[in-house]
Amino acid sequence: MKNFSIYRASAGSGKTYILTYNYIRLALQYPDYFKTVLAVTFTNKATEEMKSRILDTLEQLAKGQHAMSSDLMRELRIDEKQLSARSDALLRSILHNYSFFAVTTIDAFFQKIVRSFAREIGIQTGFKIELDQPKVISEVIDQMLMDMADDPQLIKWLTDFAIYQINQGKSWDTRNDIKNLSGELFNEFLVLNKHKVFDQLNQPNFIHDFILSLNQRREELVQDMRKIGANLKSVLENHHLTRDDFTYKAAGVGGYIDKVVDGDFAEPGKRVYDALEQGKWYSKGSDTGIAIENALTDGLADYLSAAIDYYFKYNKEYQSLQQVIKYIYTFGLLSRISEEINDYREINDLLLISDFPVFLNEIIIDSDAPYIYEKVGTRYKHYLIDEFQDTSGLQWNNFKPLIQDTLSAGNFSMVVGDIKQSIYRWRGGNWKILLEQIRKDIGEDFIQDEGLSTNRRSKQNIVEFNNDLFNQAPEMLESHLGTNLGDAIQANLNMNAAYAGSTQQLFDESGEGLINIQFYEKSDEIEEPDEFVIAELVKNIQRLQDANYQLNDIAILVRTNPQGRKIAQGLMAHAMQAGDDGYRYDIISNESLFIKNNPAVHLILQSLAWVANPNQALTMAQLNYACQQYGQRAKVITSAEEILSQMDELQKMNMSQMVETIIHHYKLFNHVADHAYLLAFQDLILDYLKYEKDSLTDFLIWWSDHDTRSIQVSEDQESMRLMTVHKSKGLQFKVVIIPYCQWKLDHSGTNEQLLWCKTNGSSVLEQVPYVPVRYKNDLSQTVFAKDFYLEKSDIYLDNLNLLYVALTRAEEALFILSQVNTNSRGITQVGDILFNYAKNKSLIHEELEVIEMGKLPAYSEYKGDSSDQVSLSAVDDSPPADRVKLRQKASILEETVIESINYGEIIHWIFSMIHSRKDFAMALDKAQIKFGLSDHEMADIKLKLREIWDKPQIAGWFDERWEVKNESSILLTNGKLKRPDRVIVSDNKAIVIDYKTGARSESHLRQVTEYKNILGEMGYDHVDGYLIYLSEPDVLGV
């Protein structure tokens, strides 16, 4: 049964529509059925958008006004009246049971599981989730540096790291660089292989002995090369020859002989081979020709050939040792930081946000049907996963048992994704799961491939341009990379596979849509490329406004935040210089939305700094300056004098009260433009106090590292959007401008990548399974060459995908500026892809002129939603004491988290509460409270319980003669835990009983058989095993 759909959704093809359609199609079965459907997205914003889309669609379906009505009626076999009634009932049910509306992020879903089963998996139920991993790393590194005086090995590693940084032209103060390096500990590969990688390093003297053996082996190779070099040197000395007596002197065969004498592993060049193969040892008429000939007779050529043979035999091992030894400090540092983080977790009783998928993965790795998923997995019958190309291996491994279970029960699930839009590999996303792994894991018998190939977003010319470009681009890159790769590595390149079937069908056939590409080179005419870019950007903005485009129709996309700053500053400078030229250049960027940049918030922060340090002249001066700056902007007289007199009162307040008092004193809410920033800052204070102690000094220290909180603004605000390509994913704009379309395809020098490579190829290296090496071209000469080239291929694809995402955001017009080197024959940046494409299409002639394809629509056709807007014109800024009243008497209803109604799960829980028959009434009462069951639902559950109770044998298992162990853990000799649902014991006889709620499986039999064997090893003379299938119901002896 093909009940698992894989939707491959290219840009603008209606991915959100298909998710909404399938959710509603499933949920319309009856009003409460939506509780069995889980939709998973990757961001909170996407979650809210998905929820809103579902609710809006249901509202329109209830009125009979939505385009998907006909499809739903056909598939559900209902008429328009029935669809309207069901949609209305479903909408009401969701709104009245909103906590069951399961559209969530993948992280939130995993956190819920861990919290629900904290006791079972051996962690404290009150543990804290630490979202701020950089903060943890910072504290751990600070502590490690404080303690390093007693650790000579750590000092050595830190010294090596500092020397490396200095050689790279960076600061010797390595604290921030150590923080960046520590990010590797959350790399998925290292997370999964942490024990393999680090366990040996914790053994006494292992790291010292390992480094010693690496150096010894490298020295052996050098000495053997020097022995050959000594023979060469002896021959030269016997014939009174030096390197300058040979052709090309130091640059020829003589220079190469000197390198061999020094023990260098240098690759022989053409001149060396010319000497050996063509006899080009010396120039015609050379005075030393006879001496060289005599040296050749004495074995010069033979020794040189031996050196070359030795080079080719051992160079790969030598270069590998060089790379590992050079960066061995990373091994030690990461191992030590990993230990410190583990200690930090235990001391502070917390889990990092990155721990959740790891925790779950470790629990399920040795079990076919892990108990943690049996309970949670049967709650949801359908799984809809969005942006599947960004799913990590860990996340997929944790979801896989859930999906396999629901598919085996005949239920529908789906994933939707697009490999071409996979741009988050750096944070764990693995597009290869969507490309191939999912098919292996789910099985072809279940899979139904669905293609969403019609682009409903963009005008005809833009779709056709992108189709043509991205049909050629993967082949360009594979050809460029393939010149350096062997057949085995070329077979692993996936660029063409990732872009297979990327051609999109047209929805718009108007013949409209503009593509404007401007290539330029740095030259005498363009000495400052940034100034040129701003000038061209201004021209394009003016042209668009002349064509009736509004500012919020335009998005400017950049690769990095520094580029965004250049654009924002450049447009601001132009606006000030141009004055009232009839055009507007208003822009919203991430930095303009940072609350720290708001003068009112800045004034609060300076006031808080003064409260924390009242005796420092600098903080007093900064506070007075902040008052002056705010006063000039708000056109009011602002003074710190009155608040200075309230020092004693302020120091007694908690932080929330302190901030409110400062806001009230300066009357900051009188300036409407500051409202959003002030409210966001107050929210930030409350968020901080949820997890941290109420200490002003600690908050100011925390704020110095966490000052990037920003406000959210309406999409309808009349300003251009400036954002990175990553931020633009999932969005669309009438016009997209890409002013720096020239990001590198390979890793940049400032973003050093660490590769964790297998140590095959050297017996010395194989003492550890993996070693860290820096990504650099030198790796092509090592045993790590395959890892290097595969990473190169992957990063090229990442950056090609970024180009795809950037170019497919546009609806009506696309403007591209790209700096290129017209003399370069290689492909090193995305601009080269566009430049080669333009040359292949004969769009470029001798001069770099502007390329323009297509045309703008006669006027902007797509009108934005004219939704009503409500302005927040006044905020109550009276003192907190005047606004907060204590209610003396109230009925308090504690809201609990209620699980969705799944009879199998509820009955499973009821049985877990029962030791003997007398516990049934108590368990039923507790179940009604825990699950929020109505009397009608309780009647159904009692009926199902009666059906189970009437089965032979079952009643006897609840006699009081038995010693009962419900869900008790059994600690095995290997340290693992097993947890049968129920074990009853009497007179050295044991019966193990396991409850199941899903479809029957061989794994259930294996699981109970394992429990029986364990109980037998524990000394019970006679052990029986049974499975109770609660949904059927049925009893099966094992």
Tell me whether strands 720-724 and 754-758 are parallel, antiparallel or unpaired. Answer: unpaired
Q: Is the CB of residue 341 less than 8 Å from the CB of residue 347?
A: no
Q: Is the CB of residue 428 less than 8 Å from the CB of residue 463?
A: no
| Predicted confidence (pLDDT) at residue 864 exceeds the cutoff of 60 | no
Percent of the chain with pLDDT over 70: 89
The verdict on whether residue 896 carries a ligand-binding annotation is: no
* Nearest-angstrom CA–CA distance, 626 and 602: 7
| Predicted confidence (pLDDT) at residue 438 exceeds the cutoff of 50 | yes
* 124 band by pLDDT with thresholds 50, 70 and 90: low
φ, ψ for residue 936, nearest 5 deg: -65, -45
Residue among 462, 385, 463 at smallest CA distance from 429 = 385
| 453 Cβ neighbours under 8 A, 6+ residues apart | 10, 13, 501, 503, 504, 505
Q: Is the CB of residue 133 less than 8 Å from the CB of residue 72?
A: no
The 3-class secondary structure across 660-720, one letter per residue, is: HHHHHHHCHHHCHHHHHHHHHHHHHHHHHHHHCCCCHHHHHHHHHHCCCCECCCCCCCCCE
The verdict on whether residue 749 carries a ligand-binding annotation is: no
* 617 band by pLDDT with thresholds 50, 70 and 90: confident
Which amino acid appears at position 915 of this protein?
Answer: H
Looking at residue 903, its pLDDT comes to 67
The angle subtended at Cα 488 by Cα 485 and Cα 494, nearest 5°, is 80
| 238 Cβ neighbours under 8 A, 6+ residues apart | 295, 298
| 31 Cβ neighbours under 8 A, 6+ residues apart | 86, 89, 90, 92, 93
Token match 């996963």: residue?
A: 385
Q: Which of 94-98, 237-241, 532-536, 950-954 has the lowest mean pLDDT?
A: 950-954
Task: Burial-class residue 147 by CB neighbours within 10 Å (0-12, 13-18, 19+).
Answer: exposed
φ, ψ for residue 435, nearest 5 deg: -70, -45
Beta partners for 984? 964, 991
| Predicted confidence (pLDDT) at residue 365 exceeds the cutoff of 90 | no
The verdict on whether residue 14 carries a ligand-binding annotation is: yes
Two structure tokens written together for 63: 């009125």
What value does the mean pLDDT take over residues 115-121? 62
Task: Burial-class residue 206 by CB neighbours within 10 Å (0-12, 13-18, 19+).
Answer: middle
Q: Which of 820-824, 890-894, 1032-1036 has the lowest mean pLDDT?
A: 890-894
Looking at residue 123, its pLDDT comes to 59
Higher pLDDT, 145 or 290: 290
| Predicted confidence (pLDDT) at residue 379 exceeds the cutoff of 80 | no
The verdict on whether residue 12 carries a ligand-binding annotation is: yes
* 118 band by pLDDT with thresholds 50, 70 and 90: low
Other Cβ atoms less than 10 A from the Cβ of 349: the count is 11
What value does the mean pLDDT take over residues 652-656? 87
Find the helix or strand (DSSP H, E) in which 813 lies: strand 810-819
What value does the mean pLDDT take over residues 940-969? 84
Q: Average per-residue pLDDT in the chain?
A: 85
pLDDT tens digit sequence for 478-523: 888 876 666 656 656 778 888 988 899 999 999 999 999 999 988 7
Two structure tokens written together for 339: 């230990």
Looking at residue 889, its pLDDT comes to 41
* 601 band by pLDDT with thresholds 50, 70 and 90: very high
pLDDT tens digit sequence for 728-762: 998 999 999 999 999 999 998 666 788 999 987 67
* 892 band by pLDDT with thresholds 50, 70 and 90: very low
Token match 């949670």: residue?
A: 376
φ, ψ for residue 960, nearest 5 deg: -75, -10
* 713 band by pLDDT with thresholds 50, 70 and 90: low
Alpha-carbon distances, residue 38 vs 1, 15, 107, 377, 396 (angstroms): 21, 17, 13, 10, 15
Task: Burial-class residue 637 by CB neighbours within 10 Å (0-12, 13-18, 19+).
Answer: exposed
Q: Is the CB of residue 319 less than 8 Å from the CB of residue 781?
A: yes
Alpha-carbon distances, residue 16 vs 12, 56, 148, 735 (angstroms): 10, 13, 53, 21
* Nearest-angstrom CA–CA distance, 232 and 300: 6
Token match 């009242």: residue?
A: 614
Task: Burial-class residue 129 by CB neighbours within 10 Å (0-12, 13-18, 19+).
Answer: middle
Find the helix or strand (DSSP H, E) in which 1024 lies: strand 1022-1029
In 944-981 the beta strands, taken as DSSP E runs, fall at 963-966, 970-971, 977-978
Looking at residue 185, its pLDDT comes to 86
Two structure tokens written together for 216: 């010894």
| Predicted confidence (pLDDT) at residue 455 exceeds the cutoff of 90 | yes
Percentages (nearest 5) of helix, strand, coil residues in the chain = 55, 10, 30
| Predicted confidence (pLDDT) at residue 337 exceeds the cutoff of 80 | yes
Task: Burial-class residue 52 by CB neighbours within 10 Å (0-12, 13-18, 19+).
Answer: exposed
Two structure tokens written together for 637: 């007289």
DSSP 8-state secondary structure symbol assigned to residue 756 = E
Q: Is the CB of residue 532 less than 8 Å from the CB of residue 520?
A: yes
* Nearest-angstrom CA–CA distance, 1023 and 1005: 15
The verdict on whether residue 400 carries a ligand-binding annotation is: no
Percent of the chain with pLDDT over 90: 43
Higher pLDDT, 212 or 883: 212
Looking at residue 161, its pLDDT comes to 80
Looking at residue 890, its pLDDT comes to 39
What value does the mean pLDDT take over residues 560-575? 90
Residue among 818, 805, 827, 809 at smallest CA distance from 563 = 818
Two structure tokens written together for 836: 């080669």
The angle subtended at Cα 792 by Cα 790 and Cα 798, nearest 5°, is 105
Which amino acid appears at position 801 of this protein?
Answer: N
Other Cβ atoms less than 10 A from the Cβ of 887: the count is 5
* 900 band by pLDDT with thresholds 50, 70 and 90: very low
| 125 Cβ neighbours under 8 A, 6+ residues apart | 115, 118, 119
Find the helix or strand (DSSP H, E) in which 882 lies: helix 880-883
| Predicted confidence (pLDDT) at residue 473 exceeds the cutoff of 80 | yes
| Predicted confidence (pLDDT) at residue 116 exceeds the cutoff of 80 | no
* 369 band by pLDDT with thresholds 50, 70 and 90: very low
Looking at residue 294, its pLDDT comes to 95
| 803 Cβ neighbours under 8 A, 6+ residues apart | 473, 741, 830, 833
Token match 């590292």: residue?
A: 705
| Predicted confidence (pLDDT) at residue 367 exceeds the cutoff of 70 | no
Residue among 376, 400, 369 at smallest CA distance from 1005 = 369
Q: How many CA atoms lie within 13 A of 418 on its CB side?
A: 25
What value does the mean pLDDT take over residues 213-241? 96
Q: Which of 46-55, 631-640, 813-822 has the lowest mean pLDDT?
A: 631-640
* Nearest-angstrom CA–CA distance, 6 and 416: 6
Complete domains list, the chain, with CATH:
4-126+352-452 (3.40.50.300), 128-348 (no CATH), 505-588+717-752+774-855 (3.40.50), 595-705 (1.10.486), 903-1037 (3.90.320.10)
The verdict on whether residue 16 carries a ligand-binding annotation is: yes
Higher pLDDT, 81 or 863: 81
Looking at residue 377, its pLDDT comes to 47
Helix and strand element counts for the chain (H, E): 41, 26
The verdict on whether residue 15 carries a ligand-binding annotation is: yes
Where is mean pLDDT largest: 700-709, 793-802, 997-1006? 793-802
Q: Is the CB of residue 770 less than 8 Å from the CB of residue 334?
A: no
What value does the mean pLDDT take over residues 825-836? 92
What value does the mean pLDDT take over residues 875-886? 57
Q: Is the CB of residue 61 less than 8 Å from the CB of residue 87?
A: yes
Looking at residue 481, its pLDDT comes to 84
Looking at residue 887, its pLDDT comes to 44
The verdict on whether residue 11 carries a ligand-binding annotation is: yes
Give every strand in the sheet of 1034-1037, ordered side by side. Answer: 963-966, 982-986, 989-996, 1022-1029, 1034-1037
Looking at residue 1001, its pLDDT comes to 79
Q: Is the CB of residue 817 less than 8 Å from the CB of residue 739?
A: yes
* 863 band by pLDDT with thresholds 50, 70 and 90: very low
Tell me whether strands 733-738 and 554-558 are parallel, antiparallel or unpaired. Answer: parallel
| Predicted confidence (pLDDT) at residue 866 exceeds the cutoff of 60 | no
pLDDT tens digit sequence for 275-290: 999 999 999 888 899 9
Two structure tokens written together for 543: 């042209």
pTM: 0.80
ω before 599 within 30° of 0 (cis)?
no
What value does the mean pLDDT take over residues 858-863? 55
DSSP 8-state secondary structure symbol assigned to residue 829 = B
* Nearest-angstrom CA–CA distance, 283 and 275: 11
Looking at residue 146, its pLDDT comes to 85
